[in-house]
Amino acid sequence: MYKPNNNRARGQFNRGNRGRPIKKLDERLFIRRASGKVEAIEPVSTLKFDDYNIASILKQNIADHGYTSPTAIQDKSIPHILAGRDLIGIANTGTGKTAAFLITLINKALHDRTQKVLIVVPTRELAIQIADEFRLFGKGTNLEAVSTVGGINIKLQTKVLRRHPNFVIGTPGRLKDLIERRELNLAYFNNVVLDEVDRMVDIGFIQDIKYLVSLLPKARQSLFFSATVDNRTEEILKNFVSDPVTVSVKQQETAENIDQDIVRVEGRRVKIDVLHDLLIKPEFEKVLIFGRTKWGMEKLARELKLRGFKAAAIHGNKSQSQRQRALNDFKSDALQILIATDVASRGLDIEDVTHVINYDPPQTYDDYVHRIGRTGRAGKTGVALTFVE
């Protein structure tokens, strides 16, 4: 459908958001045919959730959520977490790791109400998503969770914290703020989860994470989840886990069921018109568009709305309530198109995204992998298109 160009890209440079030279990625990286073999992430054993030694109310909530068999990361990690072991989980986003740590730690708190769990994540959206999943799995347990993120009135969060909830889910900046205000004392948290650690390191949270870990009690259960473990994430691991079990279900960099191609914009054709012609095709049912700048994506959203598309943008200049409203509308299919900067490229579990479009090419291949990972989830096919000028 889209004619790829396999010529070698010249070693051109663009300027990044902060004026640094960013090497233009070889456009061949964005071209890869789907294999046609579509497989969901299957369990690696015949176990069902009913087979785990967890509370009956939790089993019922899991069943109500539509889960019967564990995914690979759940199958490999749940027994170790239930046994109280520290764990390093190497897994891509969309593999089910959130349920792996929530199910096991909710079970732990059900058996011992003094258990307190801290979950640290890179983005506001991921924190809110985990809190939403907690409400599903924790229904009827009388356990409480609070998401502590920027962009939301801190007084509302401190009000919940003063009720001493069992689960606190937050981003590093807001967690530090609450600690400095003496509204949060990490000395009482005997369970901690660091999720999407590589992303937190990428966006400059490594010192904040080290600070948070330094305030935790030595006697604790520590769970570490990351798609990759490099030298910088190793720095965190040194003082985080104790005698850990390492489980890995990391797949290849891009899923086999994502059809990847480029869309060349050249000659007199205006970029927005090329995008328009794609979006009116019937197969573009639920589209996530990524771009480089907040201003550019806001302008694109306004232009698409003027052209009659149901679209909204999320980026750092939006309030948290605006961002969450747009996400909810996209998830519920009230919007056809969600336009985002890379704030939305990690950790978000949005069902049935048919297409990811890189309106601006990503600055790194890692950014590309995580952008296009929003489609082709749970074994479904997806399409990723990258505009090349």
- Three-state secondary-structure class, residue 323: helix
Residue with the bigger pLDDT between 101 and 248: it is 101
DSSP β-ladder status, 221-226 and 145-148:
unpaired
Helix or strand (DSSP H, E) at 100: helix 97-111
Calpha distance 192→99 (Å, rounded): 15
Calpha distance 385→264 (Å, rounded): 10
pLDDT at 330 over 90: yes
Give how far Cα 15 sits from Cα of 23, 37, 152, 214, Å: 8, 39, 32, 37
- Three-state secondary-structure class, residue 300: helix
Buried b / exposed e over 233-242, threshold 16 CB at 10 Å, is: beebbeebbe
Confidence grade of residue 83 (pLDDT, cut at 50, 70, 90) = very high
pLDDT tens digits, 200-226 = 988 889 999 999 999 999 999 999 999
65 touches 136 (CB < 8 A): yes
DSSP 8-state symbol, 159? H
Give how far Cα 190 sits from Cα of 115, 185, 216, Å: 6, 12, 8
Q: Which pLDDT value is given to residue 19? A: 40
pLDDT at 92 over 80: no
pLDDT at 184 over 80: yes
pTM, to two decimals: 0.67
Of 126, 66, 123, nearest to 97 by C-alpha is 126
pLDDT at 27 over 50: yes
CATH 3.40.50.300 fits 13-37+255-388, yes or no: yes
Calpha distance 104→149 (Å, rounded): 24
Of 25, 5, 31, nearest to 13 by C-alpha is 25
pLDDT tens digits, 106-163 = 999 999 999 999 999 998 889 999 999 999 999 999 999 999 998 888 999 999 999 9
- The sign of the CA dihedral 315, 316, 322, 325 is positive
Q: Which pLDDT value is given to residue 346? A: 59
> Where in the chain is CATH 3.40.50.300?
13-37+255-388, 49-248
Confidence grade of residue 39 (pLDDT, cut at 50, 70, 90) = very low
pLDDT at 3 over 70: no
Fold classification of 49-248 (topology level):
Rossmann fold (3.40.50)
With the CA atoms of 17, 21, 22 and 25 taken in that order, what torsion angle do they form, in degrees rounded to the nearest 10?
Answer: 140
Tokens of 113: 């109400």
Average pLDDT over residues 303-311: 96
- Three-state secondary-structure class, residue 72: helix
Calpha distance 321→279 (Å, rounded): 27
